[in-house]
Amino acid sequence: MTLEVLKIAVVGHTNVGKTSLLRTLLRDVEFGEVSVSPATTRHVEGVSLLVGGECVADLYDTPGLEDSIGLLEHLDAITGERRMDGIDVIREFLGSDHARRAFSQEAKALRQVLASDVALYVIDARDRVSGKLRDELEILGCCAKPVVPVLNFVAGPETRTAEWREHLARVNMHAVVEFDTVVLDGWGERRLFEKISTLLDPYRETLEALIEDRARQRKHLIRASADLIAELLIDVAAHVVVAAVADETSARKAMETMQQTVRDREQKCVDDLLALHGFREKDFESGDFPIIDGKWGLDLFSPEALKDFGIRATGAAAAGAMAGLAVDVMVGGLTMGVAAATGAALGALFSATKSHGSRIIDRVRGFTELRVDDQTIRLLAARQNALVQALFHRGHASQDLIGRLPLETKESSSKKLPEPILLSKIHPDWSSLSGDGFRNQGIERRIEAVDDLAGGIERRLSAAQAGQ
């Protein structure tokens, strides 16, 4: 299917966030140059939006229309007493010497509007509907191209959205979009494309493809974020340091090692999340992780351990019984089930030693386990959750640092941790933090646990996204 390539010119007064809009649409923090200073962009720069590797839209960043009052006066002078259509006046202006001199920036922007299918007129919604901006709109109105006003910075306090909407309606611009390039609300982008679509029917398919692609990306992003968090939580929950409690220095050292390991692991997750969402590590101000508490003790008989033991033992016993049955058959049924029973018992025992044998041996040797306590795991989850939410609401035009992560969680300590986390606590081999990486046998179950947990996190994240 060949989609029509839509050409979009992004225009507006200087420093209202034209480049920011592009950065956010492109999810590219590196595009162009953004600053609080005026006239940062002085040339027209184009960039293609790709869907599945194919270009669907070309976006053009233009310099700001700085001297609109002067330009409109000039245009009126061109018109003089003649009866002319706006577009002819603009054309005459672009061909004139003034377009190369005093109004060269404005001419660049207008030239690009004429070469495009639609113009996005970016408005800083905190600004007044001032004379120069009215004149800008009037000039754009002469360009004979659909104009979609985009109200930027609507998320802040002091916005004049209503005032702007009223004025835009007055100049016959009704397809207005609110789209904050710094604080995203998740649907702004979709609304933007939909608005363009209402004005440009021939490009409906293109825009639908774009919307669909963006929705898909968003879903994947949620899923992938959930994956990363789940990996972190499983890694940390399953992490165990074996140490002798009796020896104070070794106990303290074990605690310190564990804390450092957990901090590093969280940092890795943060880095991965930032990379995933297309932000740079320098965008994030990583505060210190609060206290990481460890918990000593061998939790051999926690309900999860027993339950898990039960499930596995049953499976192993069944396997053992099958083996015994085979033996039975081989010896011509002489044992009459004794072999089967023995097999079941052996299977159960084998399963128990396989999963908990070394732990029992450790206990006998006077070592005990140090693991991250529940509240720390809750806090880790809350912090990463907060980070992901922040990343989803962060436009790629944002210049501020991502705020610090919460230092405590509101979740009560009495609330039960999710099943996969409880399960991972009794499977030290699930943690990638413990020495030599994963052992093979735990892998499938670990994958299941991560999947399970990630599914839960994903639901939470999507609900939070949808809820706003």
Where in 40-99 is the site for other proteins (CB under 8 A)?
Answer: 42-50, 52-55, 58, 60, 63-64, 66-70, 72-73
Which residue in 342, 389, 432, 462 binds other proteins (CB under 8 A)? 432
Is 236 one of the binding residues for other proteins (CB under 8 A)?
no
Which residue in 78, 183, 224, 255 binds other proteins (CB under 8 A)? 224
- Candidates 198-206, 286-294, 345-353, 426-434; binding stretch for other proteins (CB under 8 A): 426-434
Is 265 one of the binding residues for other proteins (CB under 8 A)?
yes
Query: d(Cα 390, Cα 279) in Å, to the nearest integer?
Result: 12
Is 353 one of the binding residues for other proteins (CB under 8 A)?
no
- Give yes or no for a contact between 12 and 123, defined as CB atoms under 8 angstroms apart: yes
Which residue in 80, 202, 303, 332 binds other proteins (CB under 8 A)? 332
Q: How far is CA 143 from CA 94, 111, 116, in A?
A: 12, 9, 10
Is 268 one of the binding residues for other proteins (CB under 8 A)?
yes
- Give yes or no for a contact between 327 and 339, defined as CB atoms under 8 angstroms apart: yes
Is 401 one of the binding residues for other proteins (CB under 8 A)?
no
- Candidates 9-17, 197-205, 299-307, 352-360; binding stretch for other proteins (CB under 8 A): 9-17
Nearer to other proteins, 48 or 198 (CB): 48
Tokens (6 digits) for 40: 């940062």
Nearer to other proteins, 246 or 330 (CB): 330
- Candidates 173-181, 248-256, 354-362, 434-442; binding stretch for other proteins (CB under 8 A): 434-442
Burial 253-282 (b: 16+ CB within 10 A, else e): ebbeebbebbeebbeebbebbbebbbbeee
Q: Collect all residues with Cβ–Cβ distance below 8 Å to 66 and sequence separation of at least 6.
A: 13, 14, 38, 39, 105, 106
Is 202 one of the binding residues for other proteins (CB under 8 A)?
no
Where in 91-130 is the site for other proteins (CB under 8 A)?
Answer: 100-102, 104-105, 108, 111-112, 126-128, 130
Tokens (6 digits) for 396: 């790629």
3-state secondary structure of 295: strand
Where in 13-42 is the site for other proteins (CB under 8 A)?
Answer: 13-15, 26-28, 31, 35-39, 42
Which residue in 19, 152, 225, 409 binds other proteins (CB under 8 A)? 225
The rounded Cα 424 to chain-centroid distance in angstroms is 26
Please give the angle made by the CA atoms of 287, 292 and 296, to the nearest 5 degrees.
Answer: 170
